[in-house]
Structure 1
Amino acid sequence: MHGNPCRILGIRSLEDVIYGVDEHGRLFKFQNAKFTWLLDENHAVLRDLKPGFFNDLVVVKKMIYITDSFTYHPTFHPLQRFFSFENSGRILGYNLENGELKVVADGLYLPNGIELYHDNRSLLVSECSMFRVVRFDIESKTISPFIENTFGAVDNIRRSNDGGYWIGLSATRFTSSSLLDFLGRYPALRHILTNKALLPLLLLHDTVYGTGPALYKVDSKGATLHLLTDPHKLTKTISFSEIHEIGEQIFVGTPFSPHIFVFLNLK
């Protein structure tokens, strides 16, 4: 854990600097061919906050905002946090000038993707296990709904070229046989099934993953514009995570494949 980053979950660039976070709750930068840890397990404040899973980040002026999907627990698997529907997730703020790290929002349900809203004063945050996107006002520290009851579990969110937002989806809900929707009605049963012993059996159930991954585009108000799916399972993956729009193409990453997928001719 002391050398290179482990699984990198979020990456951003600002001028000539690349910032990233990994699954062990660490923040790094890469500049002029030099790698530097900004936060690692030796950072005293980080030890006190006990992060569980840094998931994504966004750079806003001299601050880096990081989604910490859940607080640390030595025996919990990340998928248990998703299925158990608990709200220990947080947004952390790291000050690039003085190295200060603090909690700016808590009580979130597995926060995943994070993006600067077009007003430049608030953040959009994907609450994965709640199937929604919320808006966090940086100054007032208030949280309000942006999109609710999405077509699937929301992953990363990125700006589109025309002022909207692209959102990666997994566990899509285009059929009436979604196991996740069924378990949502029975919280006690959901907690029982997501203990460490039963989790592998739960993951064998086909409808956990829905009808495959999807890309979801909304406008600046959260209204649906496009929904790109993979009905024939050509990508052979269960989730779309990172999304970048370049010209008329969308470049898409997933943690379940070594490939980058490209959607062509968006117009």
Structure 2
Amino acid sequence: MPAAPLPDPVDETPLDGPRLWVEFPEPADVADDPDAAPGTVYRCDLTWLTSDYTCIFGAGCPGIHADAPDVGCCALGAHFTEPADSDRVAAAVQRLTPATWQYHATGRAEGWTEVEDGDLKTRVVDGGCVFANRSGFAAGAGCALHLLALTEGVEPLTLKPDVCWQLPLKRSYRTVTRGDGTEYLEVTITEYDRRGWGEGGHDLDWYCTSNPAAHVGTRPLFRSAEAELRELVGDGAYEELARHCEALVGRAGGAHRRLLPLTVHPADPARARARRTR
């Protein structure tokens, strides 16, 4: 049976709208002292985490730049978050070969990093990240570091730059002061929408998280991105988050249903169709 055609990739939904959030304390804080105010509280976007979003690179993704569709969102290269981030990638690069990395010769001869506005990042070569294997490459299109991880049987997040494996999840921090003057660290997990790219995000020709074309996954995001979420919040917090997500996601006929309209992501294809017919 042929797959259903993807929704129109230009049918992007608004960035803002009502969503369902959950807050819960760091489980380790509660376990250590149930009567004490927790030092860390997670604030998580359930509407996003229970959505059907999935990366469609190689399956209809037109890329963030119309003139570079083959490289998806790898057109700009990846900025490193800290020295440990670039060091981890550097160690992986030593294990790449011409069979897994299309730009192996270029990267070895000319380097695979560059400095942009004072920040270290991966080089851009021929309109995309130096690690982005293009269509026609014998090992297939996609990230050479991701391919290496699959070859070695490890999670891709252990080899790729932080910004690459975290996308499309966004983690942010802020200090919150309670009414009694005590403080806690708030860790927010939500959608990495256009604004996550900074001011230039509004100039991208296309972006996935708010587009119905990418909300065609077979599992809710909190399950398909379990490894990434565990890395972002830790095992204990992930299990608590998953419990809240499961409370909103039922199983019926192999597809998950939503118990409240507020939990349906605005880019869900059914919601997008409903808006067009109003």
Q: TM-score, normalised by structure 2?
A: 0.25
Relative to its length, the structure with more strand (as a share) is 1
TM-score (norm 1): 0.26
**Larger CA Rg, structure 1 vs 2:** 2
Higher relative contact order (CA 8 A, sep 6+): 2
Structure having the higher helix fraction is 2
